[in-house]
Copies of this chain bind each other. A is one copy, B any other.
Amino acid sequence: MLKYALLGFLNYQPYTGYELKQTMDVSTANFWHAKQSQIYMTLKKLEAGNLVTSEIEPQEGRPNRRVYTITQAGRSDLQSWLSKPITQLEPHKETLLLQLFFSARQDKATLLTQLRLLRDLHQQQVKHYKIETKAVVQDFAASTGLGKDALLWDATRRFGEQFEAMTVRWLDETIAMIEETF
């Protein structure tokens, strides 16, 4: 899957592995992230499969850059993935829910403290989406002039914002339930 994140970005313009990591960190990281080392390895695999090519750009006083460019085969592969509809939902993993599921014998006060702390973390995330992520989307849109793209980028941002807001509401309900009935 990281494969398609990388091809997706390379479909706009050539990038180095380092730049791809930075770009992902301020854009797709909210719903698709990767470590630097994994990006380098995946790019190597993509090149082995002729989906991208690379060339080294020498630099002075800095390490050389390896710049990757998508190939025609890469564009086809990306296109084919994009047009393939999702027909079944993938299961999620939520550590928080796993913990909560087994917490019936935990101390009530401790449990409440943990959940309140988490509530604040998620509340911060709501702000993060409303402010930082919002700004990034607008900057991208202004600098690239990609209107349609910006609308979809903002749709993914709204998903994040609404997910976090929903989580805060759910935590509030859950905290209230534990306060009352435990």
Known: A32-B93, A173-B158. A8 touches B166 (CB 8 A): no
**B117 and A87 form a contact (CB under 8 A):** yes
**B148 and A100 form a contact (CB under 8 A):** no
- Which 8 pairs from chain A and chain B are nearest by CB? A8-B102, A31-B97, A104-B149, A104-B148, A31-B94, A85-B114, A166-B166, A97-B156
**B121 and A159 form a contact (CB under 8 A):** no
Hey, which chain B residues are within 8 Å of A21, CB to CB?
none
Hey, which chain B residues are within 8 Å of A106, CB to CB?
82-83
Hey, which chain B residues are within 8 Å of A122, CB to CB?
89
Hey, which chain B residues are within 8 Å of A91, CB to CB?
29-30, 33
**A174 and B149 form a contact (CB under 8 A):** no
- By a beta-carbon cutoff of 8 Å, the part of chain A in contact with chain B is 1, 4-5, 8, 11, 27-33, 78, 81-83, 85-107, 110, 113-114, 117-118, 121-122, 125, 146, 148-149, 151-153, 155-156, 158-159, 162-163, 166-167, 169-170, 173-174, 177-178, 181-182
**B182 and A101 form a contact (CB under 8 A):** no
Q: Is the interface of A mostly helix, strand, loop or mixed?
A: helix
Give A92 Cβ to nearest chain B Cβ, in Å: 6
**B98 and A32 form a contact (CB under 8 A):** yes
Choice from B4, B114, B166, B169 contacting A86 with Cβ under 8 Å: B114
Give A1 Cβ to nearest chain B Cβ, in Å: 6
**B163 and A28 form a contact (CB under 8 A):** no
**B30 and A98 form a contact (CB under 8 A):** no
Sample of 14 further A-B pairs with CB below 8 A, known A85-B118, A92-B92, A166-B166: A31-B92, A82-B102, A83-B106, A85-B113, A85-B114, A86-B96, A88-B121, A94-B159, A97-B156, A103-B152, A148-B182, A155-B177, A159-B167, A162-B166
